Structure 1
Amino acid sequence: MLIEQELLLSFGATIENFYPADIIFDEGSTPKYYYQIVKGRIKLNHYNENGKELILAILTSGLSVCELLLFMDKTYPVNAVVLEPSTLLRLSKVDFERMLDENVMISRNINKFLSERLYHKIIMLENNTSTHADVRILGVLNYHKSFSSEQSKYSFEVPLTRQQLASMTGLRVETVIRTIKNLEKLSKLQIRDRKIYY
């Protein structure tokens, strides 16, 4: 968990429950809260001019949702959409800033977390420019596994459907399915009960 729940609550955070397809915030809206996922999954997405969905990330328990926007005066460049019943902690921007001012170590931890997230995001985006489907898919898998405490081979259950992988890589679903099967033959990942383990 990025910030301990008790600390967030002590600074005035509220516990909010959401359901599939709920919108936490829309692209173009102004950031007013720090959100941290207690349980559930949230996708960050954008629709291009043709209406095609591009998924930028799928966030799970313990992660924050677009916290970097609280450090600048910009609107959200993405939508945050709930994928499954979820519980989030919500803390106002003013109280979030006060918490950071009063807790230097939390501030440093957030800086470290943001730096790591940015680093892995850059690597993923570099991989997404590849013409090779396996490089794109492995880039997304590495990015999501980077948030897991368990880094051994096949220990990470990928929280993405084949369709979501396609939306994150710009590949067709059929290409994703075929490439995942090839990656399994190459022992890069395992498939158990239709779930991908990386």
Structure 2
Amino acid sequence: MLIKEELLLAYGAEIDSFDPNDIIFNEADKPRYYYQIISGRIKLNHYNEAGKELILAILHKGLSVCELLLFIDKSYPVNAIVLEPSRVIKLPKKNFFQMMDENQEISRDVNKFLSERLYYKFIMLENNSSLNAEVRIKGVMDYHKSFYTDQSAFSFEIPLTRQQLASITGLRVETVIRTIKNLEKHNVVKIRNGKILY
């Protein structure tokens, strides 16, 4: 979902620049802003009790960051960490609600986007409960490709490393590498210069 920058700025938004590994917010912080990515990529992650990283999402240009938590009085259950140089527009929570109240079409768009995200989260949960590595990996690739209009074969470059795919699916990196090679053999993906085309 992309809310026009001009509209966000008109309601008091600011633009921040971030470097790789910068933290936008941590687990247990209270949501105070609506964040929308102008450029770059941000990961949402969590570390389990053994210190292993679980990546819940990697967000890119045009996507908002944990906007659904603005609607409830709960702390963030994830960290938002910058993966590459990024610019993010942020709007204070109070101003966000004022903008929604005064722009009904934006409110409908936000509700539609939240519904789409929730739908795909259910799909991801279902896929990640599978014992089949191919099902898990294809689920992640389907989720990321769903945000793009061109759904033809091999039109989408998966914006994730093998390590990130492993962290998202709960698989070992070796399993991800082997599974990707198998998917290529069955013409589900193509590998070009180390990039996965789906």
What's the TM-score once normalised by structure 2's chain length? Answer: 0.98
Distance 1:148 1:9 in 2: 26
Secondary structure class of the residue paired with 1:119: helix
- Percent sequence identity over matched residues? 70
Find the counterpart in structure 2 of residue 179 from structure 1. Answer: 179
1:58-91 superposed Cα distances (whole Å, 9 cap, x missing partner): 0000000000000110000000000000000010
Once residues 43 and 165 of structure 1 are traced to their aligned partners in structure 2, the CA distance between those partners, rounded to angstroms, is 12
Give the aligned residue type for 1:103: N
Structure 1 segment 10-159 matched on structure 2, within 5 A: 10-159=10-159
- Structure 1 unpaired stretches of 5+: none
Aligned residue for 1:35, secondary structure, equals: strand
Distance 2:152 2:4 in 1: 26
Is structure 2 residue 8 aligned with structure 1 residue 8?
Answer: yes
Q: Report the Cα distance in structure 2 between the residues aligned to 1:16 and 1:149, rounded to whole angstroms.
A: 28
RMSD: 0.7
> Which amino acid counterpart does residue 58 of structure 2 have in structure 1?
I
Superposed CA offset, 1:32-73 (max 9, x none): 000000000000000000000000000000000000000110
Cα distance in 2, alignment partners of residues 166 and 138 from structure 1 = 12
* Gap runs ≥5 in structure 2: none
Q: Return the offset for 1:150.
A: 2.1
SS across alignment from 1:108 = helix
Deviations 1:86-114 (A, max 9, x none): 00001000000000000000010111011
CA–CA separation in structure 2 for the residues paired with 1:182 and 1:121: 26
Runs of 4+ in 1 over 4 A off after TM superposition: none
Bigger drift between 151-160 and 172-181 goes to 151-160
Contact 1:41/1:83 (8 A) holds in 2: yes
Amino acid at match of 2:194: R
